[in-house]
Amino acid sequence: MENKVTQKKSLFRSDATQKLLAFGSLIILFIVFSLASPNFAKFDNIVGILLATAVNGILALGVTFVIITGGIDLSIGTGMTFAAVMTAVFITNWKLPIIIGVVGGILMGGLCGFINGIIIAKMKVPPFVATLGMMMVAKGLSLVISGTKPIYFNDTPIFREIAMGSIFGIPNAVLIFFLVAIIASIILTRTVLGRYNFALGSNEEAARLSGINVDAWKISIYTLCGIFFGLAGVLMASRLNSAQPSLGQGYELDAIAAVVIGGTSLSGGEGTILGTVIGAFIMSVLTNGLRILSVPQEWQTVVTGVIVVMAVYLDIIRRR
């Protein structure tokens, strides 16, 4: 009898079960919204869901690495905005070639992540406080540099093709998201950074005693997260054909929610890229479905909050 109970607990705690639950939830949501509205399952709407997932999904991929260490990054939303504004400055104001502007914008995100890592690893400031500060700094800099006004890419129409060009009807932003997800999965499962990522989240002191340079790897992980939100900023700017200096706030909550729903533990040490991708799609399907059903924005936020709390509670039960 005791063995059966133990087996049931092990089954509930397994990563495969966690991913199956998340994927099952995604399918159920899709079926429910398809039955509730004939417009939901139309091709154009599905492409819209994929497009909405791309930016939030890339943010979620980046913060997955941070959460697996047991940390958090609240600056991903405004950091994304800062990267978008700097990309606009490089291309529109400084007239740099588009490729240099794009790389520069991504590196601006990486710089924000690097500073986060330095503050957390070397100055021993808690991740919540350090990234909260960076969130405010990035938001302020975006408003100051842009003059609180959107910067448009009207002189460089090809910039919009980065996100909105398409192959077989699938927007480039979606294809980039899937490519980045594959790369992120390889980094997390096949590289030293991935192994140390889990080691830091499981037991940081044990990792330090085993000879891992905890500070250096922690800085690397936050920098990697910054590169991800830098890329998300470029895609967002390309999709809107402008850099909106006040747009990114709130994106961090959706991205973190996607990571948690996908099965990554906020306590650190556990998580998968596939789970995060599924979580990102759940968030997009939920938002899109509720919008099609004309549910007010306020209630959409309430529903999202309830789902996040439920996901965290399931994680707590799973870890007992």
Where do the domains of the chain lie? Answer: 43-317
Instruction: Report DSSP letters for 11-54, one per residue.
Output: HHHSHHHHHHHHHHHHHHHHHHHHHH-TTTTSHHHHHHHHHHHH
Read off the pLDDT of residues 232-246 as tens digits, 9 standing for 90 and up. Answer: 999 999 999 999 988
pLDDT > 80? residue 59: yes
Q: Is the pLDDT of residue 14 over 70?
A: no
Query: Measuring CA to CA, which residue among 222, 223, 66, 237 is closest to residue 146?
Result: 237
Confidence label for 13 from pLDDT (cuts 50, 70 and 90): low
Overall average pLDDT of the 210-237 stretch: 96
The pLDDT of residue 3 is 53
Mean pLDDT on 300-304: 82
Q: Which of 177, 219, 205, 191 is nearest to 66 (CA)?
A: 219
Q: Say what the pLDDT of residue 52 is.
A: 87
Topology of the domain covering 43-317: ABC transporter involved in vitamin B12 uptake, BtuC (1.10.3470)
Question: Which tokens is 58 given?
Answer: 């890339």
pLDDT at 17 over 80: no
Q: What is the pLDDT of residue 246?
A: 82
**CA–CA separation, 232 and 254 (whole Å):** 14
**Both structure tokens of 305:** 């909050």
Cα dihedral 234/238/242/246 (nearest 10): -50
Contact 80, 233 (CB under 8 A): yes
Q: Output the CA torsion 179→185→187→192 (10° steps).
A: -170
Residue 205's contacts (CB-CB under 8 Å, 6 or more residues apart) are none
pLDDT of residue 7: 52
Of the listed ranges 62-71, 120-129, 249-258, 297-306, the one predicted with least confidence: 297-306
**Residues 258, 270: Cα–Cα separation, whole Å:** 15
Give yes or no for residue 260 having a pLDDT over 70.
Answer: yes
- What are the start-end ranges of the H helices in 69-160? 76-88, 98-121, 127-146
Highest mean pLDDT: which range of 131-135, 253-257, 291-295: 131-135
Q: How far is it, in rounded angstroms, from Cα 36 to Cα 276?
A: 26
Does the structure show a pLDDT above 60 at 4? no
Average pLDDT score over residue span 44-49: 90
**195: nearest Cα among 7, 69, 63:** 69
Q: Is the pLDDT of residue 15 over 90?
A: no
Q: Is residue 16 over pLDDT 70? A: no
Please determine, for residue 106, whether its predicted confidence score (pLDDT) is greater than 90: yes
**What is the average pLDDT across 287-312?**
84
* pLDDT of 155: 87
Mean pLDDT of 126-150: 95
pLDDT at 141 over 80: yes
Asked if 237 and 84 count as a contact pair (C-beta separation under 8 A), the reply is yes
**Average pLDDT in the 179-201 region?**
95
Average confidence (pLDDT) over 57-77: 95
Rounded CA gap, 83 and 245, in Å?
10
Mean of per-residue pLDDT scores for the chain? 89
The pLDDT-based confidence of 158 (bands split at 50, 70, 90) is very high
Longest pairwise C-alpha distance within the chain:
72
Distance, CA of 315 to CA of 219 (rounded, Å): 27
In this prediction, residue 10 has a pLDDT band, given cuts at 50, 70 and 90, of: low
End-to-end CA distance of the chain: 19
> In sequence order, which residues have a C-beta less than 8 Å from that of residue 193 and are 6 or more positions away?
187, 217, 220, 221, 224
- In the structure, what pLDDT confidence band is assigned to residue 263 with cuts at 50, 70 and 90? confident
SS3 label, residue 122: coil
Alpha-carbon gap, residue 243 to 142, rounded angstroms: 9
- In this prediction, residue 319 carries a pLDDT of 65
